[in-house]
Structures are given as structure tokens and as C-alpha cells.
Amino acid sequence: MAQYARNAAAVAVIRLRNPPVNALSLTVLQALEDGLKRADADPSVKAVMICGENGKFSAGADIQGFSSPKRQGIALGPLVSLIERSEKPVVAAIEGIALGGGLEVALGCHFRVAHVQARMGLPEVTIGLLPGAEGTQRLPRLIGVPAALDLITTGRHIPATEALKLGLVDEVVEENTVEAGIRLANKLIASVSLENVSSKENRELCKHARILTGCPAGQPLGPRRLSLKPIPRLPNMEAFLSEALVKVKKQARGCLAPELCFQAVKAATEQPFADGVQRERELFNILLTSGQAQALQYAFFAERAVQRWTTLSGASWKSASPQPIRRAAVIGLGTMGRGIVTSLVKANIPVVALEQDVEYLNTGRKAVMLLLEREAMKMGQDAQSLDFHNPARLQFTVDFDGLRDVDLVIEAVFENMALKKEIFKKLSGICKPGAFLCTNTSALNIDEIASATSHPQQVIGTHFFSPAHVMRLLEIIYGRHTSPAAIATAMQLAKAMKKVGVVVGNCFGFVGNRMMFPYVQQAVFLLEEGSRPENVDQVIEDFGFKIGPFRMSDLAGLDVGWRSRKGQGLTGASLPPGTPARQRHGRRYSPLPDLLCEQGRFGQKTGKGWYQYEKAGGRTARPDPWLHSFLSEYRDTHQIKTRFIDQEEILERCLFSLINEGFNILAEGIASGPEHLDVIYINGYGWPKHKGGPMFYASTVGLPRILAKLQKYSEAHPDVPELRPSAFLKKLVAAGNPPLKEWMSCSGSQSSKL
Ligand SMILES: CCCCCCCCCCCCC/C=C/C(=O)SCCNC(=O)CCNC(=O)[C@H](O)C(C)(C)COP(=O)(O)OP(=O)(O)OC[C@H]1O[C@@H](n2cnc3c(N)ncnc32)[C@H](O)[C@@H]1OP(=O)(O)O
């Protein structure tokens, strides 16, 4: 709702109220409209001020409402116009946030005062929409086309100080914003009422008020009505717009909203306000009914849903309390360790960084300092807070004794169980009993690592993604003995590092990599059968992934998987003699990646992998004729008939096998809902956000279709268990293909009963 109150000095105050963020629901909009009409009808009201309850102006339209049959958006544009047309001055007092429709309401107001800590933005593009309450037409008139285009197509939030520089707000205050708004409203009242009074003193006062408000005599509000303002012209508008479109398209990578945002702003430069609004509505409607908006809005809520974690044994976010982390340590300053140290420093957590010897320590120290300097450059003025040259904030050591008083340790040495256990045994003896012991692993068994310590309840997996100071995902893995406090603390740590933590159970590869195995496996099988790496990558990148499986493998290094397969006895010296080349444990196996590694083709680092590169460490992947003939010879050797594989089969075999594993994971209770899998894939594996994550995508394709396709591929490849449809998928299809929200109630896993 919105609360209406009268101020003694003839200012009506309308306070938007819809906790926690004053989202604009139908009820709020109705109350706002009622308040405006009431103020208009009351002759004793001379000005209106709009603010938000609890220190927040508004986070914009209620996103839930976009998927409900009664779409509230429709009502917002006319309401903003109603505010703007008011004959009584309307002031927006912006505290906390004014986002999306919230900012559009403020743009309808004649004056905007913001608290210095407020943030503003039009983030609709991030949920697949555009500012559909006339914002694409008003904002360019107020701050110019380049700045408006930037805000609208990126959705970035800006601080009040930047908003002031852009002219988005009239005043920034450090004191109580509502009082500042009322004060301004009173001055505006004085400006209007003094207009017709002829004493010299009043004329002076009036002049002062006009300077303050920028309103010429006789037209107190005209210039403040943004719909009446012309668009500030650029000398080279056409050239500017064509360049901007190229940039927007490049960044959008198949996402529709940024380009339609651009079109709406372009309409503002070409058409009168009313026609621009009409165009905005048409474009908004296209987006609203596009599957992309639904996917992006699902992703928004999924990211929030995973904060409410639960475990199979019944622990949950509701009852577990995070412990404060006053000081942390990182063991190992390889690529991952360096990124983790950087993330901790950025989160203002003092860090002790440990390496095995002075030589490694010095190399690691240099690399960390370089990363931090780059981060500081990006942060500009705020970089002072990093203070990373201060030993109290960041310390380097080779001495485990330096870890005695830390609250949390993140071990980030390479993936070797024996080494990790040795380190955890040491930590168990050195660290204080309450210290949390985290292991950065992408697949290893948390329980086995914990067994090396005397406090297994303190041990938890924290799977960071590379580069760790950039990637948002943190997979948090609880073992059999991990305490709820350890989980809550890891989640809190993720938040402090501005990452999204997702709690999952302990199994080989956890969630992300476990689902990745069948996907990569299918990609390699497709090469055996007739595809080339560039064909497979193209299909996956056209789908929207940032990078296909072979380019990804070259980037990560083929030797990583090779080492792991050798460790598992799948290849190398420990492979029993007589093992068939393309079979392991009765299942189909492709030795192709092993053969490439045996040739020293580790990917980008060696200049050759699935592709060729300009040099070792090069980044431009080019199809490699050597690899093409190698594949032909391989097929001849193994008597595989080369066939043409179409895009549909490539996409389905790669993605449906990944999704199939997702259903197995859900059935086992390794993750407590499909949202977890989707958040992991969007934030850690480059799944296109506008396709909502693999499980959401499965729901849009339709589970019966996925099942039928898996059945077909499984029949064609009976020696590939990963293509055999998951029992849970079959169950859901038998249950009538329920919506994603209802899947877990059919799972029968314990987590669904919590
Ligand atoms: C048939 C159709 C015809 C169409 C005709 C054309 C007419 C056109 C008119 C259309 C007009 C519409 C135009 C306007 C569109 C919009 O405004 S879209 C919304 C834009 N706003 C946003 O995207 C902001 C989203 N929110 C955030 O970024 C953050 O939540 C925050 C506000 C910055 C706060 O962050 P933080 O403090 O970290 O808290 P959170 O955990 O994120 O959020 C707290 C809870 O609040 C919920 N929430 C947040 N924002 C919204 C929202 N806008 N709507 C609904 N709910 C919201 C969030 O989910 C959290 O909930 P819980 O998890 O339950 O706690």
C-alpha cells in the first residue's frame, strides 16, 4: 500500500509501503493513485512528496506480478504521467534504492532529492524487460542519450553522487531525506504563492525560490515535466546510435532485452514523446511475453531461493548461525589461491597467505599483489579501503604457526587427496578448535578429507571457480559431519565476498562437475562418430554458452582431466593390460583426450589441444587440420563409420545428458531443488541466463520430450549409462509433467520433506 499523511505546512506525504523493498504491487499503485487524487482535490495541499517506508524508495514493479494473470505493469505508465501532470509540485525523496518502476515514479516527479547513500537504476534489462513506464522516453530527455542508453541497456545501479553529476537528481543530502524533501516542497510552495505578490521583499523571495527550483515565472512546473523537454541533441546522433547498437548486440549474446531497450531509447530520439511511449509499450509487450523474461525472472528468484538452504539431515538456514570471521588463512598460492586471497581482501577480511616454501611464496605474493593492484584500479577512490600493503590486512608466510588464531582456513592446493589429508591433519593440530577448515576442491570426497582431522564438524568444501576473484559461484559442500554453523558461516562468507553460495551434498564432482561429466563425454563421443570440435562448440555457443566444451577444455588445460583419469585408473600405467581401448568397466570410454595429452597437446598453454593457437599461451583458437586427420585415422583404426551429425543431435546429446544427471542429483537429495542446479550453471558454467539454467530449460522443452529423446539416444548407445533416462525424470513424466516448483514434492528424497 501507500500511506497518505498531511504535513502541517501544506505538504501531502505519500509513503510507498510494501516490505521488504516497497515493490510496486497493484495495491501499492492503487494507493499511490488514490493519494495523488486526494492531494489534488484538497485545496489546502500545496505540494506533494513521495517517499518510501523503511529507508527505501522502491525496488520497482513487483517482479512476481509479471507472471501473474493480472499484470501490474500496465497501470504504471499512466500513473507516472498523472504525477507529472499534477499542478501541485511533486517531490521524490529517495532513500536506499529507487530502481526500475521506482525510479520511473521518481522521474514523473518534478523534483528529486536523494540521500547520499541511495542507489538508483533501471535494472529491467536484467530481468528480460525494459523500463516500460515511460522511463525509456523520460530518462534520455533528462540526462541525455548516451548516459540514458548506458543505464537502460546495462541495468547498472549508480550511487547518488553519480546521479547528481548526471542530473538525474536535483540534490543529494546527508541528513534526513524526507525532511529535506519536505523543506524543498515548502520552498516550492513559497515560489508559487509569491508569484503574484508585488512587494519588493516578496519579489526577491520569489526570485530566490525560482533560482533554487529552476522554474521560470508564470510556469512553475513546465520545465520540470520531462515529457515536455526536447531530447538533448548530439552532433553525430546517427553515428553514435549505430556504434552503440553494435556494442549492445555484442554484449547481449543472444539476449533480447538489451537490443529492445536500445530500440526504445532510439525511438525517443526520433519521435515525439507520445509516439515514443507507444513504441516503448510495443517493445515491452514483446519482451514480457518472451520466454527470456520468464527465464531471467526465474533466475532472479532462484538466486534468492538458494539462500534458504537445507540439508538432508534437517539442518537449515533458519536455525543455524554463522560465526564471525575476523581473520582467515589461505593455503596454496596457485591460480585458485591467489584469486581466493584477492576475494577475501576485497571483502575486508584480514588474510594470512601460506605457501610451502619461500620460492613459491614470493611468486604467489607477486601475483596476488598484481591482482590486487588491478582490482584497486577498477575500484578507483574506494580502493583505499583495501589497504593490502598493510601486514595487519594481508600477510604472507611459510610457517603453519601463523594459522593458530585464524577463524577460517581455505586450503587451495592441487587436487591430490593424500596432500590434502596431510594438510588437514596438520591444521587439526595447529588451528584453534573452533576454526572452520575449508577445502577448495572440485570433486574430492569431503568426508575423507575431514577424516584426517579431529574436528570433522568444522570441515566443509568450498569449490571456487576460476578466476576465483571474478566468478560469482561458490559451491558449498557439506560432509557427513559438517556442522550447520560451518554451512551458515560459509554462506555468510560467500555473501561477504559478493558471491552466490549454493549448498550441496557430497558426491564425486558435487553438482556442477558431476553434471558436466556426461556433457563433456557426449561432446567427445560426437567427435568419435563424425563431428569436429568446432562443430560442437558452434552449436553450444549458438545456444548461448559463452564457450563450447572444446574451447573450454583447451582453456582449462587437458592435463587436468588426464591427471584425474590416471588417478582413477582409467588410463596410464595403472590400466590393466588387455583393457579394450574404448571401454572401461563395461561402459563406452573415449581415449581421445588421453591420446592428445600423450602428444603433449594440453590446450592453450602448449599452443595445441583440440584447436591450434598462434603460440603456447595463445588465445585465438583455430581449427587444426592435424586434428581433423588424427580424428579420421582414429575412426579408421577403431572401425567407426564417420557420419554427419546435425545440430539438433549435438545439442540434445550434450544438454539432455547433463540435465539427466541433474535429475539423478535431485533424486538423491544432493541438491534440495532445481533452482540450486540452475544457479550453479548460470554462475559457474556459463549457461545463458536468459535460458534460465538447465533444469528451467528442461521445463520449457517439456519433460516428456526430454525423456523421449534420451530413450532414443540410449537405445542407439546402450553402452552409455549417462543417456539412460533418470528414474526421477520418468517419475515426473508419469506424474503428468508438473511445473518445476512441484518437482521436489514428487522426488521422495528426504530434503523435499523438510
Ligand atoms: C499484456 C502486457 C501489456 C503491457 C503494456 C505495456 C505497459 C508497460 C508498463 C510496464 C511498467 C513496468 C516497468 C517497470 C518494471 C520494473 O520495475 S521491473 C523491477 C525492476 N527492479 C529490479 O529489478 C530490482 C530487483 N531487486 C534487486 O535488485 C534487489 O532485490 C535489491 C532491491 C537491490 C535489494 O537487494 P538485497 O538487499 O540484497 O535483498 P534481496 O534479497 O535481493 O531482496 C529482498 C527481498 O525482496 C524481494 N524483491 C526484491 N526486489 C523485488 C521486486 N522488484 N519485486 C518483488 N520482490 C522483490 C526479493 O525477492 C527478496 O525476497 P525474499 O527472497 O523472499 O526475501
DSSP labels, 314-366? S-BTTT--PPP-S-EEEE--SHHHHHHHHHHHHTT--EEEE-SSHHHHHHHHH
In the DSSP assignment, the letter for residue 229 is S
Cβ of 518 closer than 6 Å to ligand 1, yes or no, is no
Helix (H) or strand (E) holding 45: none
Helix (H) or strand (E) holding 156: none
Looking at 104, 411, 652, 675, which residue is catalytic?
104
Q: Whose CA is nearest to atom 62 of ligand 1?
A: 304
Distance 467 CA to ligand 1 centre (A): 29
Long-range CB pairs of 287-292 (<8 Å, 24+ gap) are 287/128, 287/129, 287/130, 287/256, 287/257, 287/260, 288/66, 288/71, 288/73, 288/129, 288/132, 290/128, 290/256, 291/700, 292/128, 292/255, 292/256, 292/257, 292/690, 292/691
CB atoms within 10 A of CB 178: 19
Q: Is the dihedral of CA 741, 742, 748, 751 positive or negative?
A: positive
Closest atom of ligand 1 to CA, residue 77: 9
Residue whose C-alpha cell is 547498472:
156
For residue 513, being part of any structural domain is answered with: no
Distance 59 CA to ligand 1 centre (A): 5
Nearest-angstrom CA–CA distance, 535 and 596: 19
Phi-psi region of 669 (alpha: psi -120 to 50; beta: other; left: phi over 0): left
Same domain, 633 and 680: no
Phi, psi of 503 (to 5 degrees): -85, 125
Same domain, 131 and 279: yes
For residue 494, being part of any structural domain is answered with: yes
Q: Are 720 and 587 in contact (CB under 8 A)?
A: yes
Distance 58 CA to ligand 1 centre (A): 9
For residue 753, being part of any structural domain is answered with: no
Cβ of 123 closer than 6 Å to ligand 1, yes or no, is yes
Distance 23 CA to ligand 1 centre (A): 6
For residue 625, being part of any structural domain is answered with: yes
Phi, psi of 344 (to 5 degrees): -65, -45
Question: What per-residue confidence (pLDDT) applies to 623?
Answer: 98
Helix, strand, or coil here: 478?
strand
Same domain, 473 and 551: no
Closest atom of ligand 1 to CA, residue 135: 13
Residue whose C-alpha cell is 577448515:
437
Q: Whose CA is nearest to atom 1 of ligand 1?
A: 285
Q: Given 287, 317, 338, which residue is the final one in a domain? A: 287
CB atoms within 10 A of CB 315: 21
Distance 60 CA to ligand 1 centre (A): 6
Helix (H) or strand (E) holding 31: helix 26-41
For residue 517, being part of any structural domain is answered with: no
Same domain, 458 and 537: no
Q: Given 610, 637, 664, which residue is the final one in a domain? A: 637
**Cα–Cα distances in Å, from 114 out to 31, 51, 210, 506?**
23, 10, 20, 48
Give me the domain span that covers residue 188.
Answer: 2-287
Which CATH number belongs to the domain containing residue 342 in this structure?
A: 3.40.50.720
Q: Whose CA is nearest to atom 32 of ligand 1?
A: 59
CB atoms within 10 A of CB 233: 10
441: burial class by Cβ within 10 Å (0-12, 13-18, 19+)? buried
For residue 516, being part of any structural domain is answered with: no
Same domain, 495 and 375: yes
Nearest-angstrom CA–CA distance, 542 and 682: 16
Q: Does residue 201 carry a catalytic annotation? A: no
Q: Whose CA is nearest to atom 2 of ligand 1?
A: 285
Same domain, 620 and 659: no
* 582: Cα separation from own chain's centroid: 40
Same domain, 601 and 633: yes
Same domain, 353 and 424: yes
ipTM of the complex: 0.94
Nearest-angstrom CA–CA distance, 86 and 105: 13
b/e per residue 572-591 (b: at least 16 CB within 10 A):
eeeeeeeeeebebeeebbbb
Same domain, 626 and 702: no
Q: How many domains does the chain have?
A: 4
Same domain, 377 and 280: no
For residue 522, being part of any structural domain is answered with: no
For residue 248, being part of any structural domain is answered with: yes
Distance 156 CA to ligand 1 centre (A): 14
Residue type, 451: S
Same domain, 122 and 210: yes
Residue type, 492: Q
Question: What per-residue confidence (pLDDT) applies to 754?
Answer: 37
Cβ of 25 closer than 6 Å to ligand 1, yes or no, is no
Q: Does residue 87 carry a catalytic annotation? A: no
Cβ of 678 closer than 6 Å to ligand 1, yes or no, is no
Residue 50, strand partner residues: 14, 92
Looking at 53, 124, 534, 722, which residue is catalytic?
124
- In angstroms and rounded to an integer, the radius of gyration of the C-alpha atoms of the chain is 30
Which CATH number belongs to the domain containing residue 253 in this structure?
A: 3.90.226.10
Same domain, 118 and 241: yes
Closest atom of ligand 1 to CA, residue 308: 63
- Low-confidence residues in the chain, pLDDT < 70: 7-8, 69-74, 192-220, 749-754
The pTM assigned to this predicted structure is: 0.93
Which CATH number belongs to the domain containing residue 556 in this structure?
A: 1.10.1040.10
